Amino acid sequence: QITLKESGPTLVKPTQTLTLTCTFSGFSLSTRGVGVGWIRQPPGKALEWLALIYWDDDKRYSPSLKSRLTITKDTSKNQVVLTMTNMVPVDTATYYCAHSPEDGGLTDYYFDLWGRGTLVTVSS
């Protein structure tokens, strides 16, 4: 059974750097084709894809946020970490991590299982 859980601060100040950790179980991020991504959702608004890291350490970022994001993995700990610099109030959102499956060793570009999300508020 695959599970994912997001953790990190619930409140950050403007200009600070946000660090979120996704701890997962039920799969290995060293399996060919597998990925873990981050998606956020401001209150009452739509989902926004942020970043994704693959089994081979290949990384993808949202073009609009690329300069502020870094995604890394620790396969031995079953964790993926997302950092976002220079936080501003509009970054207030629920942040989700999600599993991107493989299909015969090839990457599939979607998320089949999600964590519950963690609400991050940016305020002074």
Partner 1 sequence: SYELTQPPSVSMSPGQTARITCSGDALPKQYAYWYQQKPGQAPVLVIYKDIKRPSGIPERFSGSSSGTTVTLTISGVQAEDEADYYCQSADSSGTYVFGAGTKVTVL
Q: Which residues bind partner 1 (CB under 8 A)?
A: 37, 39, 46-49, 52, 60, 62-64, 96, 107-117
- Shortest gap between Cβ of 12 and partner 1 (angstroms)? 22
- Shortest gap between Cβ of 14 and partner 1 (angstroms)? 26
Strands 118-122 and 11-12: parallel
Q: 118 pairs with which residues across the strands? A: 95
- Shortest gap between Cβ of 63 and partner 1 (angstroms)? 6
Distance from C-alpha of 78 to C-alpha of 100, rounded to nearest angstrom:
14
Angle CA 31–32–35, to nearest 5: 75
**With respect to partner 1, which residue has the nearer C-beta, 62 or 78?**
62
**With respect to partner 1, which residue has the nearer C-beta, 100 or 122?**
100
